[in-house]
């Protein structure tokens, strides 16, 4: 089995989350290219966009470090070996997805594109129902009370 093959011991998500976010971003960029819809004063776009992107980068680095320290898989197509509850996982159950959301939000602000913001809405719905709900079901079945205790203490997003 190669490294990217979906295993039965995985949440069976509809698509890898980065591809879902990239698809939405591509749609937003295409719509922006066809009909730009700015939504911020131009003077705010660069500093605010860069700040949001910086938060995204820090968050994903901290989340990856927590996964590496827990010696579990980051790739949702592979089995999870432990419930990660350290680092940013103390504050949100989905810091990597939150990071990707901030990244797209930062790009939308920097590009001053309402379209990129609009296309983020269906991305978040797909993430919620096609990824997160499936992951939470998988983690509940795999880890039982340990995951349920974690889930009861930590919010899904923020």
Residue 51 main-chain phi, psi, to 5 deg: -65, -45
Q: Is residue 7 part of a domain?
A: no
Q: Are 96 and 106 in contact (CB under 8 A)?
A: no
Instruction: Record the pTM.
Output: 0.91
State which residues form the domain around 149: 17-153
Residue 158 domain-assigned (yes or no)? no
Question: Residues 30-54: pLDDT tens digits?
Answer: 999 999 999 999 999 999 999 999 9
Tell me the pLDDT tens digit for each residue of 93-113. Answer: 999 999 999 999 999 999 999
**Element holding 126 (H helix, E strand):** helix 114-126
Question: How does residue 7 score in pLDDT terms, banded at 50, 70 and 90?
Answer: low
Does residue 10 belong to any structural domain of this protein?
A: no
- Domain assignment present for residue 1? The answer is no
**13-27: average pLDDT:** 97
- Please report which helix (H) or strand (E) contains residue 125, including its range: helix 114-126
Give the pLDDT band of residue 75 (cuts 50, 70, 90): confident
| pLDDT tens readout for residues 117-134 | 999 999 999 999 999 999
* Average pLDDT of the segment spanning 83-92: 96
Residue 5 lies in a domain: no
Task: Classify residue 4: in a domain, yes or no.
Answer: no
> How many domains does the structure of the chain reveal?
1
Q: Are 110 and 53 in contact (CB under 8 A)?
A: yes
Dihedral Cα 11, 15, 16, 20, nearest 10 deg: -130
Residue 12 has what pLDDT? 85
Distances (CA, A) of 26 to 23, 45, 52, 107, 142: 5, 19, 19, 11, 35
Neighbours of 44 (CB within 10 A): 12
Residue among 140, 8, 129 nearest 78 (CA): 8
């Amino acid at each position: 089995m190669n490294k990217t093959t979906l295993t039965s011991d995985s949440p069976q998500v509809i698509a890898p989350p980065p591809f879902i976010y990239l698809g939405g971003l591509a749609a937003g960029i295409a719509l922006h290219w066809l009909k730009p819809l700015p939504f911020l004063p131009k003077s705010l776009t660069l500093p605010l966009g860069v700040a949001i992107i910086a938060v995204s980068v820090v968050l994903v680095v901290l989340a990856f470090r927590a996964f590496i320290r827990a010696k579990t898989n980051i790739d949702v197509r592979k089995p999870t070996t432990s419930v990660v509850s350290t680092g940013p996982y103390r504050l949100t159950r989905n810091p990597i997805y939150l990071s990707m959301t901030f990244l797209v939000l930062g790009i939308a602000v920097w590009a001053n594109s309402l379209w990129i913001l609009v296309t983020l809405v269906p991305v978040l719905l797909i993430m919620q129902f096609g990824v997160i709900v499936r992951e939470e079901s998988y983690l509940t079945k795999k880890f039982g009370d340990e995951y349920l205790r974690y889930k009861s203490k930590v919010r899904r997003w923020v």
